[in-house]
Structure 1
Amino acid sequence: MSRFLSDRRAFPPRLGLLALGGLALGLTLTSCSGVDAQDALNRAISTRGLTVVTDQPYGPDARNRIDVYAPADARNAPVVLFVHGGSWQGGDKVGHKFVGESLARAGYVTGVMNYRLAPQNRYPAYVQDTAAALRWLRDHAKSLGGNPDDLFVTGHSAGAFNAVEAVDNARWLREAGVPISAVRGVIGIAGPYSYDFRQFQSRVAFPEGSTPDEVMPDRHVRPDAPPHLLLVAANDTTVHPQNALNMEAALKKAGVPVTRTVLPRVNHITIAAALARPLTFLGGTRQAVIDFIEAHRLK
Structure 2
Amino acid sequence: MTRRSARALSRRRTFALATLAVTLTASLTACSRVDVQQTLNRAVNLAGLTVATDQRYGPNARNTLDVYAPRNARNAPVVLFIHGGSWQNGDKSGHRFVGESLARAGYVTGVMNYRLAPQNRYPAFVQDAASALRWLRDNAKTFGGNPDVLFVTGHSAGAFNAVEAVDNERWLREAGVPIRAVRGVIGIAGPYSYDFRQFQSRVAFPENSTPDQVMPDRHVRRDAPPHLLLVAANDRTVYPQNALNLEAALKAAGVPVTRTVLPGLNHITIAAAIARPLTFLGGTRQAMIEFIERHK
The TM-score, its normalising length taken from structure 1, stands at 0.90
Unaligned runs of 5+ in 2: 1-15
Q: Secondary structure at the match of 2:130?
A: helix
Q: 1:93 to 1:73 in 2, by over 3 A?
A: same
Aligned to 1:23: 20
Which amino acid is the alignment partner of residue 191 of structure 2? Answer: P
Aligned to 1:208: 207
Higher gyration radius (CA): 2
Which amino acid is the alignment partner of residue 220 of structure 1? Answer: H
Which amino acid is the alignment partner of residue 166 of structure 1? Answer: A
Paired with 2:183 and 2:111, the residues of 1 have a C-alpha distance of 18
Aligned to 1:57: 56
Post-superposition Cα deviations, 1:17-52, rounded to whole Å, max 9, x if no partner, equal xx999621789x999975354223212211000000
Equivalences for 1:76-155 in 2 at 5 Å?
76-155=75-154
Post-superposition Cα deviations, 1:150-203, rounded to whole Å, max 9, x if no partner, equal 000000000000000000000000000000000000000000000000000000
Post-superposition Cα deviations, 1:37-92, rounded to whole Å, max 9, x if no partner, equal 42232122110000000000000000000000000010000000000000000000
Aligned to 2:180: 181
Paired with 1:221 and 1:153, the residues of 2 have a C-alpha distance of 15
Shift of 1:216: 0.2
Q: 1:34 to 1:198 in 2, by over 3 A?
A: closer
Aligned to 1:156: 155
Which amino acid is the alignment partner of residue 20 of structure 2? Answer: L
Q: 1:39 to 1:71 in 2, by over 3 A?
A: same
Paired with 2:209 and 2:107, the residues of 1 have a C-alpha distance of 38
Paired with 2:268 and 2:31, the residues of 1 have a C-alpha distance of 17
Paired with 1:111 and 1:63, the residues of 2 have a C-alpha distance of 14
Aligned to 1:7: none
Q: 1:23 to 1:294 in 2, by over 3 A?
A: same
Paired with 1:263 and 1:34, the residues of 2 have a C-alpha distance of 19
Aligned to 1:288: 287
Taking only aligned residues, the RMSD between alpha carbons, in angstroms, comes to 2.0
Aligned to 2:165: 166
The TM-score, its normalising length taken from structure 2, stands at 0.90
Q: 1:68 to 1:241 in 2, by over 3 A?
A: same
Which amino acid is the alignment partner of residue 212 of structure 2? Answer: D
Q: 1:232 to 1:34 in 2, by over 3 A?
A: closer
Which amino acid is the alignment partner of residue 286 of structure 2? Answer: Q
Paired with 2:155 and 2:40, the residues of 1 have a C-alpha distance of 18
Q: 1:275 to 1:32 in 2, by over 3 A?
A: closer
Post-superposition Cα deviations, 1:227-273, rounded to whole Å, max 9, x if no partner, equal 00000000000111110000000000000000000000001110000
May I ask how many residue pairs the two structures share in their alignment?
Answer: 278
Q: 1:231 to 1:139 in 2, by over 3 A?
A: same
Unaligned runs of 5+ in 1: 1-18
CA contact (8 A) 1:233 1:267 kept: yes
Aligned to 1:269: 268
Paired with 1:49 and 1:210, the residues of 2 have a C-alpha distance of 47
Which amino acid is the alignment partner of residue 276 of structure 1? Answer: A
Paired with 1:213 and 1:43, the residues of 2 have a C-alpha distance of 42
Q: Which has the higher contact order (CA 8 A, sep 6+)?
A: 1
Q: Which ranges of 4 or more aligned residues in structure 1 deviate by more than 4 Å?
A: 19-22, 29-34
More helix by share: 2
Q: Secondary structure at the match of 1:141?
A: helix
Q: Secondary structure at the match of 1:117?
A: coil
CA contact (8 A) 1:22 1:41 kept: no
Which amino acid is the alignment partner of residue 225 of structure 2? Answer: P
CA contact (8 A) 1:21 1:273 kept: no
Q: Secondary structure at the match of 1:185?
A: strand
Which amino acid is the alignment partner of residue 83 of structure 1? Answer: I
Aligned to 1:193: 192
CA contact (8 A) 1:233 1:263 kept: yes
